[in-house]
Structure 1
Amino acid sequence: MDPSMNHTPATSRLSHLLRGEITGGVILVIAAAAGFIAANSPLAEQYFALRDTKLGPAGLGLQLSLGHWASDGLLAIFFFMVGLELKQEFITGALRRVSTAIVPVAAAVGGVAIPAVIYLAINAGTSGAEGWAIPTATDIAFAVAILGLIAPGIPPALRIFLLTLAVVDDLIAITIIAVFFTEQLQLLPLVIALVPLALFAVIARTAPAWLARSAWGPWVALLPLGIVVWALFLASGIHPTVAGVVLAFLIPVRGRDGTPLAKTLEHRYSPLSAGVAIPIFAFFAAGIAVSGTSNFPLDPIAIGVILGLVVGKPVGITLTTWLLTRFTSAKLDPAIRWRQLVGVGALAGVGFTVSLLVAELSLSDPAEADTARLAVLVASVLAIAVAALFLARRR
């Protein structure tokens, strides 16, 4: 018997509840709403002071604000869970065929290119043009949770499509940040990271049965190495959440003795992701003050961001998918309907984390950055509404 399953009945019920995507979506929405309300209430000063409170060892370069610990640290847990699920799909699931897996990957590229083109078309020749990358990103944490909330009965293939699309989308966006908005990429930390990565892989592959059976084994054997890898990614200038995906891909789907390690870890730690990591991240990510943006609706930056995310994302994703499946041997999973694909494309317009980060990095004028941040928030709400229209069940 797995010792990790020796919980009290109340704890077991809570863990089971937190594994449900609807529950996770509700908690996320509540946390995000609380953050937005706090940022625009008499408690705003205390809220921002809390978000900006710095913790961690400064000597190791890890003295981060609580907001950054949430977006850079806790979010890595979610990316680890996503990586586990994706690897299972690539090895034994719907994405094991290249002709099927290539579709969401290509769709992600289209979903990045079209929003950037729309934004540049509106902001060409202005200082706001520097923010062209703002509408290119998808917030995978919000998108997946909202999908479970507004469309709980969708085919599993559609969820996997969104997961793959969003992960590739985020990797592209993070690459854009590294190439265009990172002053200097440090290669030495990445080289050093190969050592703990190798140790992580060796332990995961040589002791899968023990890791799956022991409640404390992964905490003792894998977590310390994972933290080291995360810190080295952070030091390199690469967004440290990427470490979560890389580490997950090193976990074997099945050990030599048949132990389903990836599935076991995903099941065991999903409540930690859904009930702790994502809500805290959402609480700080949604804290956007709307004051000082009186010209917001008519500002070219706002228009570019909103049209890029709400229109560019679904158009880019759907059009790329149609062209690929129409003129090549690539195939869309037969369980996915085109109406649902448009809905998922719209849901990819939920920007938040990376979009907010790009807005901060790309626009030097604080007023322009605030306008872009508010536009990301408005676009995300509109994208959810459009997605709900396409993903709602027809009666």
Structure 2
Amino acid sequence: MLSGKRILLIVSGGIAAYKVLDLIRRLRERGAAVTPVMTRAAAEFVTPLSLSALAGEKVFRDLFDLTDEAEMGHIQLSRSADLVVVAPATADLMARMAGGHADDLASTLLLATDTPVLVAPAMNVRMWQHPATRRNLATLRGDGVRVVGPNEGDMACGEFGPGRMAEVPEILAAIEAALADGPLKGRRIVVTSGPTHEPIDPVRYIANRSSGAQGTAIARALAGLGAEVVFVTGPATVAPPAGVQVVRVETAREMLEAVQAALPAEAAVFAAAVADWRVANAAGQKMKKDGSGRAPALEFAENPDILATVAGLSKGRPRLVVGFAAETHDVEAHARAKRGRKGCDWIVANDVSPATGIMGGAENEVTLITAEGAETWPRLTKHEVAQRLAQRIAEALA
């Protein structure tokens, strides 16, 4: 897929810059040509000689190098690639991208390019969670910039949390997805998946039996058609697909917040099995038996309705909103009612009663409910259901 492709790789200043050495090697193994660009700060972490040796090309660093301007001006450099990749993308560079700055070679290239851009953020957890970074990220996504990562884990600064740059295989998969030709190329789609966990106390929670397999398969199928997929997943038992932006959440409220942060998008597929209720009086410490034989009294509150919230948006609503209805009886009737009640465009309904083996299993049997009517598909693998649904989404967005 990458053979013959040209990647303009912009390396900014962060400890994660060492990972780009392996990224360059793997890109070239796959037949891609890599042109490295370094910010001034990047040279504090990796050397131009290292990048040049691995890429087999000159490293560009200075906006005002007259020789470079004569041989390959920054406009030509910014547009001669098939994809611009920024790895690591620091908070500072992302802020300058969002603000349209052009005060060094990297930012000028990013402002002057008409080539698709993929960023791999890397920064301290507090910087990643800061409202300014969240605003900048939303601006970049709105401008069509693709994002891979960051991951959660230990930081070089000693803290723990989201902010670690995505690993090289994840970045490679995101590059392949960005360059994939397909009917959904350039389309941004949000997919939710898995269960949510609603805490009772720090060690107990309310959940359901969803494995996340169907949502994962849908995200993978959409990415395979060229879509930029934001995959918002609860604590599923299956691994998320490669080539998508993964956002991990626990609760329904966290999932809604993540979905809202991922908009705007052209389509949203809500495959997650979100808990309808949460414990309003969740304990801050583990509940202990008191010897009375009585169970603790739990008070419940209704969770936000993610599907109805997004379907009802007056501004920024996706063109296509797809919900799921997991039922145990009167499947089609309940699904039709849910579609009208939620205000979504399509409902994918299935029977998850224990005898079917669908929840947590490898197969699914669904009925697609649209404004035109109901269409029942035969029992298929979840991969095949995902492929069919992705193709239908591509046709609807064409």
Structure with higher Rg: it is 2
**Structure with greater helix share of residues:** 1
Give TM-score scaled by structure 2 length.
0.22
- TM-score normalised according to structure 1 size: 0.22
Considering fraction of residues, name the structure with more strand: 2
The higher-RCO structure (CA 8 Å, 6+ apart) is 1
